[in-house]
Structure 1
């Protein structure tokens, strides 16, 4: 069973519908007690970094999610769910994240902000997440901030938007992407299925 963390993220329902479309059992998690029996965890995200962290804390989900990722259990972060894995975001000055990985989340300083629409992902390292997906495939993005991980070896994908930044990571059983597979059509569905199959 896949658990999808609910802290009020805008893309929660579309992520759940994507797994339902794939015929995969998934349920929405609104409290830590509901994580019992969960085998894989998804942290979706659209919205403000600081407010989302606060919402997770209010629902008592912050520590359980942080401990899940720190224990290297099967995990997928999507968009803000990727950014929150790191130490801090530049949003509103400085906002602390889950801090599982070292690195920060700066704001784009060029182009239209946020980045909205389709962009390519260069596959910088081999990963089962890319099975059946061509290098430089297009995925749907919606974000004004991006990650700068200290450990560049965890990067498996990069995207250019005036600056070349890490748009997909893999560290053990932890995967996360900056784009929205649930809004990326056939290729996005393939990526979600790949993650489930890992």
Structure 2
């Protein structure tokens, strides 16, 4: 029979007719339910793994396995090969102390800041386009309703906002994505 304490990441094994161990793995890079399913499938493809429960919010996988067939390191390697950096929490504790939970919180804070930065850059790129559109719409008499006819030869709002979107905006967004973290 096997018991484990998920908070400590410790693995306990007691002899019995069918030995089963449980390991807690720290999994990085998961962002959605599809990632959770992918991690679970990757772990369950390892011979000797009996079950895998993945928690997206905590970035953890609790795996039950046959210790005679596989090890937490082999399971972690299979999940890492699937694209999600993984380490057994007991190894992580040995190398980094007891701050696994704090590291997870720091990683989440870093990701949240990256998304905030992307949103701010997006708003800063969008606002001049929108402001140009509305200012030129008010100045040219262009209307936003069915049947509206622009004044003869007045295509300035479309031309200027199009130039903003396809000119500098495109250059910044596509060719210099490293500037805004994309």
TM-score bracket for this pair, using the shorter chain length? under 0.3
- Please tell me whether Structure 1 or Structure 2 has the larger radius of gyration of its CA atoms: 2
Structure with the higher helix share, 1 or 2: 2
Q: Higher strand proportion, which one?
A: 1
Higher relative contact order (CA 8 A, sep 6+): 1
TM-score (structure 1 length as normaliser): 0.20
